[in-house]
Amino acid sequence: MHGIIFFYIQKFADEATSGKTTWLKLRETVTATDNRYLPNEVYPDADAIGLLQKIADTCGEPLPLLIERFGEFLAPHLVKVAGQHVDPSWQTLDLIENTESIIHTMIRAANPGAEPPVLQTVRHSPNELHLVYSSGRQLCLLAKGVTQGLARHYNETIMIEETSCMHKGDPFCCFVIQDESNETHSTKSPLSETIAFDPRSGDSLSPQKMNWHSNLSDPSGTPETIDNFLVKGVIGSGGMGRVYRGYDNR
């Protein structure tokens, strides 16, 4: 595993354990070597899992939950590490969509021994992305935590559904990730007030106050019906004619 992960495991340990243990003690229980974990090196996966297990034991929480929490912690740091490779206009789904082709490719080129997970994505819509995660480490919970951490970093609200999982015997893990931040039915959406629809009868509709001015004379001789519509009154008139309020009389 890439040394940068060990670097942030150390930072996470300090925060998660609230001083209940030290990084040196954690490291001594996992490996006999006195060497430090350097960010530009590659180390055994078992060391990382062992460290996270010791942190989980110290915190008194299950390892799967702690791995997901570490992913949330890790996400904003990974964005900073990626630096110039991250487009400033990207949001959560954009970054995930480009992680394999840009960031993981960069990691493999810089560190031939590094084996980041293989991520394949399909963008079904601006607000929905399907992610296929494949890795011998089977750390899909870390991927889920990173996704949640990215959403928090970008101040977005997302929903994650895992439709397949290697821990259940599936060949890969698949996530359906939906960005609900710009849902058109949400009160936060810029489109939320574009249309106001009143499902009640035409009798309950009242004319809107208009800011435009008409040069036509006041409407007179309002028809009782237009085709099959019973006319209830005039909403307004302008250069293109009159607008009536009515309902279907059929």
Q: Give exposure, 102-111, as e/b (b: 16+ Cβ within 10 Å).
A: ebbeeeeeeb
State residue 197's pLDDT score: 39
Q: Are residues 72 and 184 located together in one domain of the fold? A: yes
Range of the domain at 217: 202-248
Could you give the CA distance from residue 28 to residue 26 in angstroms, rounded to a whole number? 6
CA–CA distances in Å: residue 169 to residues 121, 133, 161, 177? 21, 14, 17, 21
pLDDT level of residue 236 (50, 70, 90 thresholds): low
Give the count of domains, the chain. Answer: 3
- pLDDT tens for residues 70-99? 999 999 998 998 888 889 999 999 999 988
Top mean-pLDDT range of 115-119, 124-128, 221-225: 124-128
| Mean pLDDT confidence for 188-207 | 43
Name the DSSP class of 62.
Answer: -
3 φ/ψ sector (left φ>0, alpha ψ -120 to 50, else beta): alpha
Computed over every residue of the chain, the mean pLDDT equals 77
Distance CA 72, CA 63 (A): 14
pLDDT above 70 for 214 = no
* Higher pLDDT among residues 183 and 217, named by residue: 183
Whether the CB-CB separation of 88 and 50 falls below 8 Å is answered with no
Torsional sign, CA 113, 134, 154, 53: negative
Top mean-pLDDT range of 17-26, 98-107, 146-155: 146-155
In a 3-state reduction of DSSP, which class is residue 246? strand
Taking the chain, what is the end-to-end CA distance rounded to the nearest angstrom? 72
Same domain, residue pair 75 and 183: yes
Q: What is the mean pLDDT of residues 154-178?
A: 94
Say which amino acid occupies 180.
E
169-179 average pLDDT score: 94
User: 14, 39, 61 — which closes off a domain?
Assistant: 61
Read off the tokens for 133: 């995660």
Q: Are residues 155 and 213 in the same domain?
A: no
Question: Domain containing 190 — which CATH number?
Answer: 3.90.1520.10
* Predicted structure pTM score: 0.67
Rounded to an integer, the average pLDDT of 22-39 is 67
Mean pLDDT (whole number) for 202-213: 47
